[in-house]
Amino acid sequence: KNKCLPQNTLSLCRLMMEVNREAPDFSAIENLLKTDLTLSYKIMRYVRNLLFKSHGITETDNFSLKEMLMYLGCNAIRRFVTVAALANIGVAGVSEWYHLSMVRGKFCELIARQTELALLPCNAFMCGLFSLLDIILEVPMDDLIKQISVPHAVSAALCEHKGDLHNVLALSLCYEQFNWEGASEICHTLNISEFSVIEAMQAATKWADEISFG
């Protein structure tokens, strides 16, 4: 029997998908945030502090959640929401997987940008980011993906272990496991240099460190 995810967990997964699209829909993000009062409160408090520190603005009571999101901008929203959502959906004892999820997500995005394949960087990021959700949520990946409706390329990579996105994700796993021979083979398949992959992993790790630990 399939294990159903709680509604708040489904909403958080959909929220992470929405903020990491090429062109996020602020109205859709606002509607998803409204299903999680704790996360909405954190974002509003964060923006109020930011407005005060950067512009000395204290009167923010009339700002809607959507206006606050638009003020933050896409990059800041991606950072804040991804970290907060991952922290909110996990079960006890799996916090060590959050950082690795973000490293994988950013690494896959950077590699997708380097290939000559028709890979959307946002799908690559999603593929890496969600690659450990089955461990974090203790739900089989097939059941999980059916419930959050990810793009087909992401589903094929995570559930069927097929497609170019799977190769990109597999490259990340090779580096994690120090499987240099496997990494070299995938680099050849994707037609990218091994040195550029090392740079991508370093950049992804630095990015994950910065948004995880400030």
How does DSSP classify residue 185?
H
- The pLDDT assigned to 11 comes to 76
81 contacts 102 by C-beta, under 8 angstroms: no
What band does 181 get if pLDDT is binned at 50, 70 and 90? very high
pLDDT, one tens digit per residue, over 55-78 is 666 666 667 777 777 777 777 777
Average pLDDT over residues 85-97: 64
pTM for this one?
Answer: 0.74
Per-residue pLDDT, 182: 96
What does the pLDDT read at residue 166? 96
